[in-house]
Amino acid sequence: MYKKSINYFIIIAAACLMQWHSIQFWINQVGYSGVGWSLMLEAVVIWYWWSSKQILALIASLLLLMGPIHEITEPALTNIKHQEQAENLNDIDLAEIIRLENSLKTYEKNSESRIGWSGRIDRIQKQINEINSQIKERISYKSNFDFIESSSIALAQVLALLIIMTAQALAISELRKKSKLIISDNFDKEILNNIEIIPEKEIRNASEKPSLKIVKNHEENESELINLIPLALKKVMLRDKINQAQWCKENDISAKNLSLAKTHSMRLSQHKEVAPASELTRICEKLGIVKTENQGML
């Protein structure tokens, strides 16, 4: 129960974190309909991972990550861009200062012989001071900007998003496996109720030692009987406290044939290799899958 709660927490927390960044990204791209785009993409990612469609889930996950990664890296990329623009502006401003200083020298020289140049000289000097002030501000901003630190933080956040997305996918996969087991147990409940383990004292007294006996008496076709193999095997292993490999060794049954027998119906429908009929019969006999007297093998 504790592990299941952790899985749910990871899925929900990861989805909330992704949406925190993703919704803003999609709103910037397509307007307020971006909320629907982002939420639908999140739902598709979870559904694909739950359905074990790995390739589609991976593609959808990359699309979902695009928004958060863009939102996280944009500040660092903007700062870098501003630095490049600042350097270009400084070059332009320095060239402008040189031009203004040449004009200033000319005006000052002219003022020595004629009056009326003081206003122009003051305007030129003011422009030069303003440009120098702007250059100093850019230089100060550049000195305070740490490219390595900014890039490292952005990279760490991107890696964290990838780790979180991977954890979410694993959590979904874990819940899906547990859900399949629950569904399988519920589906087989009716069959399980018709199988019981023979008490050990009855086995000691019996001339033959079947592992299981069947409670219900209605007719079963061959396919239904074979489908009982996994359930019967599970009960035998629980009763005797052994694993599948030990049971195969004790009963001289090929591990491969037992594995094929457990998935017989599925493999048959998919036209894959199945265990030989003689081996299926032998496995049923070893498991003691029997019908009521005079009804043959179950």
pLDDT for 205: 45
Query: Which distant-in-sequence residues (6+ apart) come within 8 Å of 35 by Cβ?
Result: 23, 26, 27
* 141-175 pLDDT per residue, tens: 655 555 667 677 888 888 999 999 999 999 998 88
pLDDT for 1: 61
Return the top range by mean pLDDT from 93-102, 185-194, 219-228. Answer: 93-102
Q: CA-based angle 62:26:8, to the nearest 5?
A: 55
Return the top range by mean pLDDT from 58-67, 70-79, 97-106. Answer: 58-67
Q: What single string gives the DSSP state of each residue in 177-225?
A: HHHHHHHHHHHTHHHHTTEEEPPHHHHHH-SS--SEEE---S---HHHH
How many other C-beta atoms lie within 10 A of the C-beta of residue 258? Answer: 22
The pTM assigned to this predicted structure is 0.46
8 Å CB contact between 134 and 96:
no
DSSP one-letter code for 114: S
pLDDT for 40: 93
Burial of 220 (C-beta count, 10 Å sphere; 0-12/13-18/19+)? buried
pLDDT for 198: 45
C-alpha distance across the termini of the chain, in Å: 38
pLDDT for 212: 41
More confident residue, 73 or 61: 61
Burial of 261 (C-beta count, 10 Å sphere; 0-12/13-18/19+)? buried
* 110-130 pLDDT per residue, tens: 676 666 667 777 787 787 788
Mean pLDDT of the chain: 75
Using pLDDT thresholds of 50, 70 and 90, give the confidence band for residue 46.
Answer: very high
Expressed in percent and rounded to 5, the helix, strand and coil fractions of the chain are 80, 5, 15
Mean pLDDT, residues 245-251 taken together: 90
Distance (Å, whole) CA 240 – CA 247: 9
Which of 254, 292, 290, 291 is closest to 275 using CA atoms?
Answer: 254
Mean pLDDT, residues 22-49 taken together: 91
What are the boundaries of each domain within the chain?
Answer: 2-183, 191-287
Burial of 187 (C-beta count, 10 Å sphere; 0-12/13-18/19+)? exposed
Using pLDDT thresholds of 50, 70 and 90, give the confidence band for residue 263.
Answer: confident
* 200-237 pLDDT per residue, tens: 444 444 444 444 444 333 334 566 678 888 888 888 88
